[in-house]
Amino acid sequence: MSFAYKFHVSWSHLWKAQVSFLGFMLISCSSFLYDQKVNGNPDMFSLVSSVAFAIMFLSLSRQVDFGFEVDLFNFFLGYFLVQLMKIHIALIFLGASICYFFTCLRSYLDNKQPLNGSNVAHSVVQIALEIEDGRNTVNKKENLYLILGIEEKREDMVIFPIDMEENIRTAIFEKAGYDEECYNVYLTWRRQILAEKMRKIDMQKLLIKEIKGVPLDYLQKKIQRWIMSFEYSIRILFSEERNLSNSVFVECSSSSNYADLCFMELCRAPMTLLLDFANAVANSAGSPLRLFRLLKVFEALKEMLPEIETLFSDECGGVAIRDEAIGILARLREAIRSVFADLETLICKNEISVGIVNGGGIHPITYYVMNYLGAACKSLMTLEQVFENNNNNHGVEFYLARILLLLEQSLKAKSKEMYKDSTLGLVFLMNNYTYMVNCVKHSKLGELLGENWIKNHIVAKFRQCFKIYKANSWDQVFRGKLISEFVLKFVEICDVQSCWIIFDDHLRRKIRNNLKETLLARFKSVIEGSQENINICGDFGFGVRDIVAGIDKLFKGRDELKNHREIHPTWTTALHEHNIKDFHKHWKKHGQKTFIGSSYPM
């Protein structure tokens, strides 16, 4: 027990100081009268030294208690007074004043004690009371342990009985004045049980800085485990603790307060650990792939939020936890929105660069974006919840449509950057537009954007690309009036475009059938245009089957590309190296066999 210091004036000490000073003066005067004929006048050094020694022994008397300090202090003060009187008798008044000051100072310091007699007595009483209270507390604890049937092996090891819940309820009901002790025992009991349950679910803390270095598969497993632990804790563990604390302290005079305090003391730490994990995921940065872990955590927290608000609704810290959960949910929502902004930036900056895509195939960014959006739309309801309270009142369909529009614009720019042949660039666009359409139709993107959006934004652009492709590639064939010109241009185009690719089987068949229909009609008109063309076709056997076989070599699909064997017939080289006059000779020798030998489904 601590007490504030209060100084009390002691008149006995003052009387002793006065008597001591009077005796001191008498001795000093007698010493002066005796020594004045023996010694000469003192110097300044002896005066200063005597005062210094007096002060030194005064200070020493405050530090140690050997018994001679006060005597030496008086001796040097007397010596100082005698020296002054030797200089001049009138200086006795100055010396007496100085000596009186030091004598009173010593008396004051002796009187200034931290504890006087009454304070010491009071402290002794307080300490005795504290010891008695401590004994009473220990006895009360022992009595309560006896009532509850608790066995204390040692200070850190307590064994609780099986019927602990009923024992505490009985103690609160029957034993008045044991509420606080029962509260402490209950906390110890339930904390031990809850810690064991939390240890079984193996919930570990996840820091924000750890997410970057964790492999994606490992992080997904941790998130899945967190979701299971989170739902189990809210629905089972915390709910049981809330019901149990309310049940046990229902008979307590302050039942609601003790019940809330118990629940918060037990569940605050594990709940904070669970929320810290969600907060780390919400604040993590990285690639757009983090969207899927954000969605999982958002869905779990959103689903559990009503139960969190029910459990943590009191004023004993529960409101703070509930508000923290709501805040983390808001941060998850913002993080998901930012992922879509990052994806738009990725498309606009063309950060996925692979050089030229051979044969006008599908660009990796098209694969990436469309598969990404398709996977994201599997959580379409969650995305709608994320964007429902957006400041600009735009739903998720607005952002998805904008991403697809940016992808179209990016692909159009890439078609011009990658290919010198604009016709091949058109094939590239048709491939990528077709892939986009298929992904939209076969995912929830189609339900969200609607059929009209697909027709107006992608299908229309595809048709425009095909129209331009057909005009740029085959108009030269259509303009040929002679069979030799027709065949020459036809062979050149087939030779070039046989290395191009149309990945979609249905699209490849449609393009081939369209070209067959158009070219065969033009071939018929060329043949019928002059007798010479009829004679050439009759002599060298170039006909419908050859046109069909040539078109069937265009746009090798994935299966055909895998099994295809490149053929470079010599007659195709001759068309470039020789004049038209030599065409018939090389055609008869090489070309006829090559075309007619081609596989064509009859």
Judged against a pLDDT cut of 50, whether residue 446 lies above it is answered with yes
Q: Which of 382, 289, 408 is nearest to 339 (CA)?
A: 289
Two structure tokens written together for 555: 């746009």
Q: Is residue 91 packed enough to be buried (19+ CB in 10 Å), middle (13-18) or exposed (0-12)?
A: middle
In the chain, how many H helices and how many E strands? 28, 2
Burial class (CB in 10 A: 0-12, 13-18, 19+), 226: buried
Q: Is pLDDT at 123 greater than 50 in this prediction?
A: no
> Of 112-116, 313-317, 402-406, 488-492, where does mean pLDDT reach its minimum?
112-116
pLDDT, position 594? 34
Does pLDDT of 149 surpass 60? Answer: no
Confidence of residue 430 (pLDDT cuts 50, 70, 90): very high
In angstroms, rounded to a whole number, what is the distance separating the alpha carbons of residues 310 and 282?
Answer: 24
Asked if pLDDT for residue 391 goes beyond 60, the answer is yes
Share above pLDDT 70 across residues of the chain, in percent, rounded to a whole number: 61
pLDDT number for residue 296: 93
Q: pLDDT tens digit string along 170-217?
A: 555 455 556 677 777 778 778 888 888 888 777 666 666 666 667 777
472-486: average pLDDT: 74
The most confident of the ranges 129-133, 201-205, 264-268, 298-302 is: 298-302
What's the pLDDT tens digit per position in 59-116? 766 666 666 667 677 777 777 777 777 777 777 777 777 777 777 777 666 655 444 4
Give the chain's mean pLDDT: 72
Pairwise pLDDT comparison (59 vs 345), residue with the higher score = 345
Which residues in 417-431 are b (16+ Cβ under 10 Å) and which e? Answer: ebbeeebbbbbbbbb
Q: How confident is the model at residue 525 (pLDDT cuts 50, 70, 90)?
A: confident
Closest CA to 516 of 474, 578, 455: 474
Indicate the range of 13-17, 92-96, 380-384 predicted with least confidence: 13-17
Decide: 354 and 364 in contact? Cβ < 8 Å: yes
Q: For position 579, what pLDDT does the model report?
A: 41
pLDDT at residue 463, as a whole number: 87
Which residues 6+ apart lie within 8 Å of 500 measured at CB?
359, 360, 424, 427, 554, 555, 556
Quick one: pLDDT at residue 519?
A: 83
pLDDT over 70 (residue 300): yes
Domain ranges of the chain: 11-111, 202-329, 350-475, 480-602
Q: Average pLDDT for residues 214-234, to the nearest whole number? A: 85
Q: Tell me how far CA of residue 383 lies from CA of 342, 344, 379, in angstroms.
A: 16, 17, 6
3-state percent breakdown (helix, strand, coil) of the chain, nearest 5: 80, 0, 20
**Contact between 333 and 390 (Cβ < 8 Å):** no
Most confident of 105-109, 160-164, 262-266, 292-296: 292-296
